[in-house]
Amino acid sequence: MLCLSGGGAMAAPAVALPGLGADSHRSVVDVNTAPWRILGRVQTSLGGRCTGFAVAPTVMLTAAHCLWLPATRHYIQPEDVHVLMGYAMGQYRLHAQVTRFVIAPGYDPANEGGTASEDRATLVLDRPVVLSGDLVPYGSAPMGAAAMLVGYPQDRPEVPYGDLSCQINGLALNGLIHHDCSATRGDSGGPLFVRQPDGQWGIVGIDVLATEGRGGFAAPLPH
């Protein structure tokens, strides 16, 4: 397994990116329509980029490792983290400033692989970024269920880009949700959608890890 990092400004060749493969299938989505209105690009003043999604009008989730600075061995300051909602090709619906964030207690950046199931950060924003009606409920992730995963990957950082036709492969022993969605660096923090028994989409996890070929793992949502 390989960790999905935030991704920088330079696009990398797809063959060099984990989580993708020769059979990857991704497309651009419209972030001004449901269920993608909850999607935002999380970026820092130091150039880091990840994906995040709203779970309340002023609250977003992303991957905790996106906020960790290996050089200083500290998390970045909240005032250096920004969210661009509906970002595509330099345009966005609105900008929000992170006022504070909370890292899941069980996550340890020094043991990223061993604590990946807790790789979550809750971002508190300075303004509402979605309406309550835009929010997507949490769901369950049965094996074989249809899934979707969209974010701002390193090789396509200027557009919301992802896999709309993938599935859940099951649960790992540590609680991570295994999927076969095409996702790579920069997609970290993106929501893993799963088709629910009633036909609606629900969010089941936060994308945090990629495999050598197509697919990866998502951290389960907090209870």
pLDDT tens digits along 190-209: 999 999 999 999 999 999 99
Separation CA 211–CA 150 (nearest Å):
17
Q: For the chain, give every domain's residue range.
A: 39-134, 136-220
CATH 2.40.10.10 fits 136-220, yes or no: yes
Of 8-22, 40-54, 88-102, 157-171, least confident by mean pLDDT is 8-22
Q: Do 39-134 and 136-220 fold alike per CATH?
A: yes
Answer whether 0.75 is exceeded by the pTM: yes
Looking at residue 52, its pLDDT comes to 97
pLDDT tens digits along 115-170: 999 999 999 999 999 999 999 999 999 999 999 999 999 888 899 999 999 999 99
Q: Which CATH class is domain 39-134?
A: mainly beta
SS3 40: strand
pLDDT tens digits along 158-202: 999 999 999 999 999 889 999 999 998 889 999 999 999 999 999
Looking at residue 139, its pLDDT comes to 96
